[in-house]
Chain A
Amino acid sequence: MKIVVPFKSVPDPYAGPGAAAKSVVNPFDEIAIEEALRIRERGEATEIVGVTIGPATVDEQIRSALAMGVDRALRIDDSRALDPYAVARILRALVAKEAPQLVLMGKQAVDDDSNQVGQMLAGLLGWPQATFISKIEFLENKTRAQCTRETDGGLEVIVVNLPAIVTTDLRLNEPRYVSLPGLMKARKKPIEVLTCEQLGVTVQPLTTTLSTARPPKRAAGTRVESVEELMVKLKQEAKVL
């Protein structure tokens, strides 16, 4: 089985305030990479291909993916501000070229928080999808996958025919730490660079971010010294009890 893992380079969400915004592999995508590695380590996959879209500056995150253990990586050279639908259309062309049995990716990128690409890609390809998964197992000689999904109402189990798109939630696994041997091996692995033209896709993003702003800060309230004082505030000042 061949697995394609699309991943995105995002500003480190755990960088402290004021810290220089270093880029990292989107944490949800990192979980997808980890799961692909585990599937390969169980002997159920033979090749893991990492794919990202961006300018050469994202090569550092590509090397992180390779250092984790992805077999080879592709970068689709495009530095435009793409929207999820544009990304999905580019990935469709890539998936058609690579013909994997499984596409594993994060459920959302933590910068944009859109949570769209995997589902859109599934729709474009006409493939089954399993979103927000916390568990995956292969059935019937890897022709189907049983997935546990994290939904608002609790856990849900579905089976999807392969090939399929699967998006990962937080609790699927704990990604491994990139080790020094992994880092050194990654230096020897190829990064293939493709353009949208080479893939035969022309897409224009249909959504544009006009501006961004910080939300108004919630003012800090008051400290209370005791449960009694808190009760008084809740009843008399806030009037919620």
Chain B
Amino acid sequence: MAATLVLIEHDRQQVKRPSLHAITLARQLGGEYALLVLGHGLDAIAASLVSCGASAVIVADDAALAEPLADRYAAVIAQAAQKYGAKTLIGSSSTFSKDILPRAAALLDAPMVTDVLALEEVNGERAYRRPTSAGSMLATVKIEGDRCVLTARATAFEAPAADAAPCPIERFDFDPASLPNGMQFISREQRASDRPDLTEARVVVSGGRPLQDPETFERLVGGLADALGGAVGATRAAVDAGMAPNDYQVGQTGKVVAPELYIAMGISGAIQHLAGIKDSRIIVAINKDPDAPIFQMATYGLVGDLHQLVPQLIEAVRRG
């Protein structure tokens, strides 16, 4: 039995680090928690999770789960939650969790709170703080009943220590033949990149529409990111203009990042973009327009032409 199940995400090779941050929310909730991993060929991944302070690592390992198809995954997660008597199901805010967990919530007849930022207590009752309206508002939300599904904003919770005594790995048995079969995986875009993942990087360099074309974007944004060992992000406008792939998008509907250093180049600062960066420790904005809204939240603002300033900056960083 475990009060809480934390869904762990992986890319078949290794655990996705931001998904571990959901464990911190589970700890704050109190009570025992178990980690739940779904997939196929999970031995190494399961083994990497035993020191996270969970009561168990529950592994649903089957060829039928080789790809994260929502109908099957939600069904297995709901079965596991029922079997282990878990009242709370947590994942980190990612497209993986957002695809699967609401479906699991419906199967469990449980309400759900997306993008939890913090726990609160209101009149002695538990409540959850979450952002709404592209982060321009913070709502405090209460849940009726004892069951719920949560996703945790990874940037709002620390990575948990992984120094606990190893916990058991338990195999979760289910009948693959009973799973829904209405969805079929076809392909996934594979892009090799030596750069760190956007949501995990210590430094993120992002570009907006003034970068003009994919070549300039790569030369200036990519160039600076590489000099700093950082990840590359982009605004919706830059993505829409074909300068960067869609999964580089940072903001309300893209990724939320909170690196040590965020450098915004040619980004005016639409609220939808700012929603995704405002928890960064240091924000540097470089923009031609001195009135760009981004300057109102940047730690350091530099007004000027990207095409001149960024090569200088790359050079300065390389010199050290």
Binding site for B on A (CB under 8 A): 11, 13, 83-85, 88, 107-108, 110-124, 126-132, 134, 146, 149-161, 164, 169-171, 204-215, 217-218, 220-228, 230-231, 233-234, 238, 240-241
Contacts and interface: CB of A to CB of B under 8 A. Distances in A.
A206 B184 contact: no
Which of B112, B185, B272 is packed against the most chain A CB atoms within 10 Å?
B112
A206 B186 contact: no
A71 B141 CA distance: 37
B122 A84 contact: no
B133 to A, nearest CB: 5
B106 A120 contact: yes
Interface string B259-280: 0110000000001100000100
A116 B110 CA distance: 12
A112 B132 contact: yes
B253 A169 contact: yes
Contact of A210 (B137, B142, B246, B302): B142
A132 B98 CA distance: 10
B133 A116 contact: no
Given A107-B253, A224-B301, 9 more contacts: A13-B134, A85-B111, A119-B74, A131-B99, A150-B246, A160-B182, A160-B184, A213-B137, A217-B297
Interface in B303-320: 303, 309, 312-313, 316-317
B182 A128 contact: yes
12 contacts: A113-B131, A116-B112, A117-B102, A152-B96, A153-B247, A155-B247, A158-B185, A204-B144, A207-B111, A215-B135, A220-B296, A221-B299
Contacts of B134: 13, 110, 113
Given A150-B95, A221-B301, A116 B127 contact: no
Given A115-B102, A119-B102, A123-B105, A210 B141 contact: yes
Interface size grouping (class) on chain B: 35 or more
A83 to B, nearest CB: 6
A159 B246 contact: no
Given A119-B103, A155-B246, A159-B183, A238 B253 contact: no
Contacts of B182: 127-128, 160-161, 164
B140 A212 contact: yes
Interface of B: 11, 69-71, 74, 94-96, 98-107, 110-115, 122, 127, 131-145, 180, 182-191, 199, 203, 228, 236, 239-240, 245-247, 252-253, 255, 260-261, 271-272, 278, 281-284, 295-303, 309, 312-313, 316-317
Contacts of A149: 95
Contact of A113 (B252, B271, B309): B252
Given A119-B70, A131-B99, A224-B301, A211 B139 contact: yes
Contacts of B239: 171
Contacts of A206: 110-111, 143-145
Nearest to A220: B296
Given A84-B102, A153-B247, A154-B190, A223 B295 contact: yes
Contacts of A128: 71, 180, 182-183
A227 B245 contact: no
Given A108-B253, A129-B103, A134-B246, A208 B141 contact: yes
